[in-house]
Amino acid sequence: MTRAPIAVALDAPDLETAARWAQAVTPYVAVVKVGLELFCRTGPSVVDTVRGGSGVDLFLDLKLHDIPNTVAGAAKAVAGLKPTYLTVHASGGRDMVRAAVDAAPDVTIAAVTILTSLSQGVLDAVGLAGPPLDAVRRLATLAVDAGAGALVCSPQEVAAVRREVGDGIILITPGVRPVGADSQDQARVATPEQALADGADLLVIGRPITGAPDPGVAAAAIAASLPARLAD
């Protein structure tokens, strides 16, 4: 069975729940994502638990952001877990992104541009004046120049980022919500179909799947809703 280009965010309260969700969704999705909260709560053992024998890729979403030497050390430390993707903040600068790339050469470093929870008002308040797209494009170019193999951006910016960086970079889009789903704390969202049509390679979907009565059924339904040419 073909798995859909979806990374299910396993933002679970405990290891047992994360394992149950992972087992339910891995027949239908290509990636499972372990975020900072779950990783800190359970430790590295969560990786083998959620990956199991499913063969799905692991997205380790730690959003590293520190001086280059510290980020290099952290990236090297988790590279042994063999994640497919590891996130760093592009706003940490070119040298920091490069440090992560060099420290984990077998991992695709995914640089986070602007968090999907940040609205225009929040960006103004922290000093990022102008439309979010301007900052996203600047950070995307910086990160790719530093060696990042993937970028994380909202689905509302993915088409412009694709034009900016070309086809060789993996674009990962959080803030994806099926039609009718609550946007919750995501400020810049789109449907899975629209995000893929605009150039996304991997959709991050959490609560619309894990918050459903049966996460496996929810994952299967979203996977089945994607155009056949995109769900491969």
Determine whether 63 is an active site residue.
Answer: yes
Q: How far apart are CA 80 and CA 169, in angstroms?
A: 23
Radius of gyration for the chain, computed over Cα atoms and rounded to the nearest angstrom: 17
Whose CA is closest to 160, among 122, 228, 114?
Answer: 114
Burial (Cβ within 10 Å: 0-12, 13-18, ≥19) of residue 134: middle
Q: Which of 33, 63, 76, 82 is catalytic?
A: 63
47 near 58, Cβ under 8 Å?
yes
Rounded to whole angstroms, the Cα distance separating 102 from 71 reads 11
The set of catalytic residues is: 63
